[in-house]
Structure 1
Amino acid sequence: MSLSVVVLISGSGSNLQALIDQSLEGKLDITIKAVISNKADAFGLERAKKANIPAVFIDHKKFSTREEFDAALQYEIDQHKAELVVLAGFMRILTEGFTRHYDGKMLNIHPSLLPKFKGLNTHQRAIDAGDKEHGVSVHFVTAELDAGAVVLQAVTEIEPSDDAESLSKKVHNLEHKIYPLAIKWFSQKRLAYKSGKVMLDSERLSDTGIRYQQDIH
């Protein structure tokens, strides 16, 4: 049975598009029940409408506290009976109550090799640190920012000619490969989150998850 998913976005929604494409191609057995954004002009909402997916805007500026906004967001998600919540460039810090409500049922993708470079401006920070490699991580979401257990990471080399923009493009290409893969594992019930640890095929993963290679599926 197809996995019911709600996707949260704040911007262009390129990862959302990768999920839509793979779903249409039959590579990913999910049904995206809704796409929700806190930004009215997020292009991802247009991607959703084009794919005949309900596109919902909830303006965080209309709420006086994070808790109030998260309560409204939670209510909307739960109307769609989501089995998995997917953060795809959702630029909001989530409250503890919200993350607890979706414990083990919410994934995020972050443009660094966690636990390195939590937060913003990861590409420039990796260059400034003199790192030789950079990448992207899929992780379960907890109340602590970008600190949830890692499922999957993909790595790219930082070349001397790279700047933040070129490195961002490399990482984006990797994102569109590993996010659908992690969600596929979840939809197949191969991936689980128990007591703060990630299990794949009943085997506990390391703290940095699995390193992506072209032949894993």
Structure 2
Amino acid sequence: MAKVAIFASGSGTNAEAIMRAAQSNVLDAEVALIVTDKPKAKVIERAHAFDVPCFIADPKTYETKACFEQAIIDELGKREVTFVVLAGYMRLVGPTLLSAYEGRIVNIHPSLLPSFPGLDAIGQAFKAKVKVTGVTIHYVDAGMDTGEIIAQEPVRINEDDTVDSLQKKVQEVEHKLYPETIQTIIDRTKEVSN
């Protein structure tokens, strides 16, 4: 069974969807660890509710980004993590972590990339008055939301939508698409190693 670590900086709704999918065997993986860079992130409470251990790595307490990422890699190694899932992790992954988990880090983004990369993608789409936005799952590279796209699903923006209602619609898609896509990647990895 694949061992997954989820990186999150905020409330952790996607992390919860993945933990729930793993717990109910919808996702054939063990969530071995939650990694957060925010000591007061709500994702910590969600992890405790699912009995998943947390590693809180406050980047301010490390001398360099490389030291910060090495501490995370050490923790991932202790738990035999094979795959990293970013779920609202608000930090660019640096070369230390990228090289240790090359091709094994994925991210979810609330737009149809390459449109609306970076922060507040839902707000960006809403302000641009586009009719369709969506969700993208992609491999992580050194850029901001620039890695190879794995899966996308559109979300229609209606005239009566607000930023809040649009966010709810996008999250509904995220919570279903992310566990499904992770499972697809795990299945592909098994096929390659057999």
TM-score of the superposed pair, with normalisation by structure 2: 0.92
Helix, strand or coil at the partner of 1:182: helix
* TM-aligned CA distance change 1:190 to 1:101, over 3 Å: closer
Q: Find the counterpart in structure 1 of residue 179 from structure 2.
A: 180
- Give the distance between the partners of 1:25 and 1:153, measured in 2 at CA: 24
What pairs with 1:92-171 in structure 2 (closer than 5 Å)? 92-171=91-170
TM-score of the superposed pair, with normalisation by structure 1: 0.83
- Could you tell me how far 1:22 is from its partner in structure 2? 1.4
Which stretches in structure 2 are left out of the alignment for 5+ residues?
A: none
Q: Once the two structures are superposed, what CA deviation does each residue of 1:8-38 show, in whole Å capped at 9, x if it has no partner?
A: 1111111111112112222111011111111
Question: Partner letter of residue 153 of structure 1?
Answer: Q
- Give the distance between the partners of 1:83 and 1:68, measured in 2 at CA: 20
Structure with the largest fraction of helix: 2
Decide whether the 8 Å contact of 1:6 with 1:80 is kept in 2. Answer: no
Question: Partner letter of residue 108 of structure 1?
Answer: N
Question: Partner letter of residue 168 of structure 2?
Answer: K
Q: Once the two structures are superposed, what CA deviation does each residue of 1:147-186 show, in whole Å capped at 9, x if it has no partner?
A: 0001111111111222222211111111001100111112
Decide whether the 8 Å contact of 1:48 with 1:55 is kept in 2. Answer: yes
Question: Partner letter of residue 65 of structure 1?
Answer: T
Q: Find the counterpart in structure 2 of residue 211 from structure 1.
A: none
Structure number with greater CO (CA < 8 Å, separation at least 6) is 2
Q: Find the counterpart in structure 2 of residue 63 from structure 1.
A: 62
- Give the distance between the partners of 1:124 and 1:43, measured in 2 at CA: 22
- Give the distance between the partners of 1:32 and 1:25, measured in 2 at CA: 12
Question: Partner letter of residue 102 of structure 2?
Answer: D
Percent identical residues: 34
- Give the distance between the partners of 2:51 and 2:165, measured in 1 at CA: 33
Helix, strand or coil at the partner of 1:108: strand
Aligned length: 192
Q: Once the two structures are superposed, what CA deviation does each residue of 1:118-152 show, in whole Å capped at 9, x if it has no partner?
A: 10111121122221100110001101110000111
- Could you tell me how far 1:74 is from its partner in structure 2? 1.8
Q: Find the counterpart in structure 1 of residue 52 from structure 2.
A: 53
**Backbone CA RMSD of aligned residues:** 1.8
